[in-house]
Amino acid sequence: MTKPETLLRAYPKSWRDRYGEEFAALLADDIAERPRSLRRDLDVVRSGLAARLSTGGAMLAALLVFAAAATSIWTQLVNGTLHARPDTAAPALGLLTLSICGLAVVAIAAAGAVAVSRAVARTIRRGAGRALVRPAATTIAGAATLAAGVLRISSHAPATTPLSRWTWAATESISTYWIHPDRLLTLPAAEIAWMVVSPIATAVLCRGLLALVVATGLAGTWRRNARLMAKAVLLPALVTAATWVVGSQHDPNAGLRAGTLDLALIAAMTLAVVAVDAASRRPKISLA
């Protein structure tokens, strides 16, 4: 017979602290009536996973994965298109759609930055600014490290435009070099170090931003807008990028021919869209 405490571990600690006692009582009553119910147990685990996804950290991580994967594909399309004219319409369509979605993400990020700045100002006026010192310092440290690294590494990037050099530097850690140590060790030491440091700096930046969002009371607004963003921005980018990856396998232009890494990026983008959509839904207390 399953114990209520065991099933409750599927939920995050913050959720258990708030609803755990009530839900444990419901589970105890249900287990008394149905000592063995696989359907109930699976439903509780599913709801627990949804609750974990609904945390701001999970949502931000999913958005970050999507942005990194989409940026990597966009950079490849830009460089391939500038080196040789595309032989099919898929690269041009993918590049156009990813560019539009990228601009939309930048606009959303700018609007979010304004909202966070205003919320920070309100928090300081209320005399609660001390709680923001650590999140703000973390955010600034992560952002400064990323900016300095991108500017440094982009000067040696094998790209043709300033923007594509920056995006190449920002996503250099997304590389098949990791599974080919002999090729990885041929890179300059600075680039190898950057491939390790950049994901850490990104995680630090996101951790600081998330803490600021929570401390300023914007978490609810973040969740409400995430699902709309997934449908209006992320999904079109995913569909067109996937169309290019699938359709480019026999493209005569080698620079625009997707590889195994691109297939992995599409899979990561798909999981990220699903995660963002799931994270935008409020978990419900339910027993099947």
The residue among 286, 276, 285, 287 whose CA lies nearest residue 53 is: 276
* Integer Rg of the chain from CA: 22
**pLDDT (tens digit per residue) in 14-23:** 778 877 788 8
**Mean pLDDT across the chain:** 84
Tell me the helices (H) and strands (E) count for the chain, helix number first.
Answer: 12, 0
Rounded CA-CA distance 212/204 in Å is: 12
Half-sphere exposure of 239 (CA within 13 A, CB side): 9
Does the pLDDT value for residue 284 go beyond 70?
Answer: no
Token pair of 81, please? Answer: 């298109």
Residue range 113-140: mean pLDDT, rounded: 88
- Structure token digits, residue 41: 């147990």
Residue 15: predicted pLDDT: 74
CA dihedral of 31, 33, 34, 35, whole degrees rounded to 10:
50
Task: Spell out the alpha helix ranges (H) of 131-215.
Answer: 133-154, 162-170, 181-184, 189-215
Does the structure show a pLDDT above 70 at 223? no
Of residues 84 and 53, more confidently modeled: 84
What amino acid is encoded at 224 in this protein?
Answer: R
Eight-state DSSP code of residue 273: H
Top-confidence residue, 280 or 78: 78
Q: What is the mean pLDDT of residues 239-268?
A: 83
In the chain, what's the furthest Cα-to-Cα distance? 69
Report the pLDDT value the prediction gives residue 150, as an integer from 0 to 100.
Answer: 95
Work out the average pLDDT over 248-255: 70
Range 71-98 average pLDDT: 84
What per-residue confidence (pLDDT) applies to 161?
86
Distance CA(50)–CA(179), nearest Å, equals 32
Closest CA to 18 of 8, 4, 32, 29: 8
With bands split at pLDDT 50, 70 and 90, how would you rate the model's confidence at 70? very high
Q: How confident is the model over 40-62, as a mean pLDDT?
A: 75
pLDDT of residue 167: 93
State pLDDT tens for residues 150-179: 999 998 888 778 899 999 999 999 988 898
pLDDT of residue 74: 93
* 98 touches 240 (CB < 8 A): yes
CA-to-CA separations, 64 to 6, 52, 101, 104, in angstroms, rounded: 32, 17, 14, 15
* pLDDT at residue 285 tops 80: no
Residue 224 pLDDT grade (very low, low, confident, very high; cuts 50, 70, 90): low
Return the pLDDT at 46: 78
Q: For the whole model, what pTM was predicted?
A: 0.78
**Comparing C-alpha atoms, which of 99, 63, 96, 75 is closest to residue 213?**
63
- Can you give the pLDDT at residue 214? 78
Confidence tier at 201 by pLDDT (50, 70, 90) = very high
CA distances from 43 to 9, 38, 55, 137, 266 (A): 13, 8, 19, 41, 29
